[in-house]
Chain A
Amino acid sequence: MLRSPNSVPKTKFWLLIGITFFLHILLLYRFFQLQVLDYDLYKQRANSNRIRANSVPAPRGLILDRNGKIIVDNYPTYVLFGIGDEIVSKSQNFSVISKATGIDTSYLSINYKNNFRSRFLPTKLAKDLTISQLSRLEEYKNDLTGIIYKQYPERIFNPKIRASHVLGYLKELDQEFLSTKTNKTDYQFGDLIGWSGLERNYESILRGRKGVSYFQVDAFGREAGKIEGQKNILPSPGTDIKTTLDLELQELLEKELKDVKGAGIVSNPRTGGLLAYVSSPDYPPDLFTGLISTKDWETVITDIDKPLLDRVTNGLYPPGSIYKMIVAAELLERKLVSESWEVFCPGYYEFYDRTFKCWNENGHGDVNLEKAIVESCDVYFYQAIQKVDIDNLSERSKMFHHGKKTNIDLPSEMKGRVPTYNYMNKKYGKWGWSKGALLNISIGQGELLVTPLQVALYTNILATRGETFPLHLVNKKINKINKIHIRNSTWKLLEKAMRGVIISAKGTGRRADPKIKDLNIFGKTGTAENPHGEPHAWFIGYGLKNDKIISIVLMLENGGHGGEVAAPIARSIFKKYFENDYKIAIK
């Protein structure tokens, strides 16, 4: 019945219109809710969907020598990362990388496993990729998922010198370090930080500030262009530090100490600045820059010569005869002996039932204080020390900065040991030690322990009558060390004696003199007996020529006689420094 009438009541029409209206209003309200009421929420969500922030490492400040020559520089290195969450198949990706770069897949797997922190964070797979390896990788880009590389500035070292202990190295920061930082934005996992040496001490200056680069990614996490209106934050490079080191003196000192164990310090007594700083044996400074192989690491840490130990700041040695100037100062200052007071040295000294030997078994004959220093007569000091109170001597030693840290601008330093009455009692019991122990101390043996760096400060004090500055590697505004109250006559005698060590016919340090016109060398040798074998050889001294001055401290572990092995090294340094053609900027 095609023509059946369409007799529908209007109410039905209006009901359907009502339903239609309701449904449209519902949709409209929903759009309004999402787009207008919750706009901020979704806008932020859309941005976090697509915006990725990458931190851009700041180039680290350079480390320069006193003349502005570069000791530590940066060069760009490429590091390969894998993002666990985006890697579809690890084995497939690794084999593609291996095919492109020649890096072994097992190496990649091991690194992935070791460096893995979170599947959303880039995990380091390989370091130091070459440009050609990278371009090969680019060719295979479509076969790779979640593999990215970043450019990092890495440390490169002046090939002339090593100075590994002074410069220190960088290492990836650890949780412990991170927890000490209040400002976490500048430090993230995977960052390299100064872990030792100057790199550590001047971390905050060298580091600079990281930048941020924003880019957008598509739904598959692939980079999809820059973000308009979003400015990248450029990294601000770290500040260079100019050290007091002298590249050429450092080179020479390293050469001289190459095959021995020991320490050498050259400094300027008038400023406290260190010109050369060597602890031998050392390690190549770039040892820690690459992913260090287990084998290399084993070699370094199992070496019985302990190349990782910084002997300058952390090596503890008996000072031997170089300590005698302190005893002399104590004797004179307290007027315990006069300059002309003499002792007969037969080559030994009998103290109760013990015999103390002089190093010269033939004896020195009649010895006054000056001669006792020049010829390093032990018997003189055995006798003189009996007038000395151990606590007074300890005070005097501290005056010359024994037994306290020099507070050099390096992260770690030992303080040495100066025995006091209480110390001896504690160690041996009240009746367990006698004046005999003091006899050993008088010649810088026994309980006394110093670091070569302390000795450097001591030498500078002797060179300037106490008018010296704290030792440092980077110039900054510092005050002179505390005034040392010693009579000029005492200083004079010490200087005369130290001069005698070099020039007197029987002086022990004659070999330290390069015999340059107008150059006056002052010095003292030491031969410190120790339970580890041959005595440690010491030489301390300073050279004066017109207004130029440097001081040298040398310590050769188990090296033998200071005058024989250490003094000649000092001579070559003095020679280099004071020769006319060698110009050096003195600050």
Chain B
Amino acid sequence: MLLNIWKKIKKSPTIILIPVFILLLLGLFSLLSITTLQSQAPPNAFSKQLFFLIPSFIMLFVMSVLSKRLIHKYIYVFYVLVVFAVLLPFFGDKVSGTYRWINFGLPFDIQPSEIAKWIIVLVLARYLSDHNLQMTHFSSNLFPLLIALIPTIIVLNQPDLGTAFVMMSSVLPMLYWIGARPFHLFMIVAPLLSILLAFNVSVFYFWAFFLAIVIFLSKPKLIYGLGLYFGNIFLGLIFPLVWNSLRPYQQNRVLTYINPEIDPLGAGYHIIQSKTALGSGGLFGKGWGQGTQTHLKFLPVQESDFIVSAIGEELGFIFLLLMILLFFFFIYKILRLAINASDRFSGLILIGLASIFMAHIFINSAMASGLMPVKGLPLPFISYGGSFLVSSFMMIGMILNFGRDDGY
């Protein structure tokens, strides 16, 4: 038995752990600066993060040696359980104004949506690999979408826009991987884009033109093509009308959301301070523990949502370059494992997990650097967060497991 486990570990693609542990160290290094140097006595974010490494490593190990067959067999049951789990917080107390966490009487709260995001990947992987679906039909995409949407909509109402987005992020890549037509996937995203782009007239013209070309080149039936096109355009036209019917303060709230620089002390304050922290770090940073934006608390939520800004301020562009290289290597490695996987189930899982990581990396960094509105998503292995850390290592465990070409 033990020998069996050892064999499994030996055959695992453990090279993936190298970037993971370097990033983990970078995160801990930064958390140490943020907490200890601000004379926060333990338990602080740093010590808690260290503590959560214990369950994280246990789960890493468990998930990497767990029988794939077992996972495949019981995943639908887990899916049902997880849907209930994301509903559970609604029966508890609000924490920071949201229903994200459940308190089991432990000294820390648990965030079930962290598990849900990769349970969706497993469920989709089984569904897509078990059934030989005609993926060229648009309708084949609908049921997988529904599977993802059910827990996502619940999470969206917690409310947790960031995690909801991450939960959906794995669906399209997996569908694409299994053979869905890019045009169909494009059409799934198109209505959302039509609405968002309608606020800028010239961008919307461009979008309408682009949409027409895509639809034309994809040669759908004329009636569908026209329907799709004008459906989208109609959405884009009707939305500004809805917008104008909003009261000014409601509009303001949305505007600040889209362009935070409008209100320097409101929601936009965070992004401005984060950009200032990043920018003032320069090429080599202000030195570890020397970040004025960080240590004088101008930088908000610096231990999780904006930790990249704290790193950027103290250690400079050089370290962010290193971080981005490691992340790229990490994702690249997972995708390599996916293409080399011998079975469809494993390949799909790897694609889904890579998507989740990619979503976290991109949204977190893009938001901290002001490319996107603030969403509040942590950065894998670097940000502080118990559930998130454990969940991340569970995903790494699964990558080791499903990236190992050893049959079942």
A interface residue numbers (CB < 8 A to B): 1-8, 10, 12-13, 16-17, 20-21, 23-24, 26-28, 30-32, 34-36, 38-39, 41-43, 45-47, 49-50, 216-220, 224
Contacts and interface: CB of A to CB of B under 8 A. Distances in A.
Contacts of B332: 17, 20
B32 interface: no
B282 A50 contact: no
B177 A49 contact: no
Contacts of A216: 292, 296
Nearest to B281: A35
A31 B129 contact: no
Interface stretch (B9-17, B230-238, B317-325): B317-325
Given A3-B343, A34-B279, A8 B327 contact: no
A36 B362 CA distance: 20
Interface stretch (B115-123, B214-222, B270-278): B270-278
Nearest to B346: A6
Contacts of B316: 35
Contacts of B371: 26-27, 30
* 6 pairs of A and B residues whose beta carbons are closest in the complex: A42-B279, A46-B280, A218-B296, A35-B317, A219-B297, A13-B339
B366 interface: yes
A4 B132 contact: yes
A13 B338 contact: yes
Contacts of A38: 279
Q: Mostly helix, strand, loop or mixed at chain A's interface?
A: helix
Contacts of A41: 279
B366 A30 contact: yes
Most B-side CB within 10 Å, residue of A10, A23, A224? A23
Given A27-B362, A39-B282, A42-B278, A6 B343 contact: yes
B341 interface: yes
B243 interface: no
Nearest to B308: A31
29 contacts: A2-B129, A3-B408, A4-B343, A8-B177, A8-B338, A20-B328, A20-B331, A23-B361, A24-B328, A24-B361, A26-B362, A30-B369, A31-B312, A31-B369, A35-B282, A35-B317, A38-B279, A39-B282, A41-B279, A42-B280, A43-B282, A47-B280, A49-B276, A49-B292, A50-B296, A50-B298, A216-B296, A219-B296, A219-B297
Nearest to A1: B130
Interface string B359-373: 001100110011100
B344 A6 contact: yes
Given A1-B129, A31-B320, A224-B296, A43 B335 contact: no
Nearest to B371: A30
Nearest to B345: A2
A543 B228 CA distance: 116
B26 interface: no
A264 B48 CA distance: 83
Contacts of A42: 275-276, 278-280
B129 A34 contact: no
Contacts of A10: 339
Contact of B280 (A1, A7, A39): A39
A16 B335 contact: yes
B121 to A, nearest CB: 15
B358 interface: yes
B293 interface: yes
A34 B317 CA distance: 9
A412 B273 CA distance: 55
A6 B279 contact: no
Interface string B278-291: 11111100000000
A6 B342 contact: yes
Given A16-B351, A35-B316, A224-B296, 11 more contacts: A12-B176, A12-B177, A20-B358, A31-B320, A32-B317, A35-B279, A39-B279, A39-B282, A43-B282, A46-B279, A47-B280
Contact of A24 (B273, B324, B341, B343): B324
B72 interface: yes
Contacts of B280: 39, 42-43, 45-47
B150 to A, nearest CB: 24
Contact of B321 (A31, A39, A50): A31
Nearest to B274: A34
A112 B237 CA distance: 54
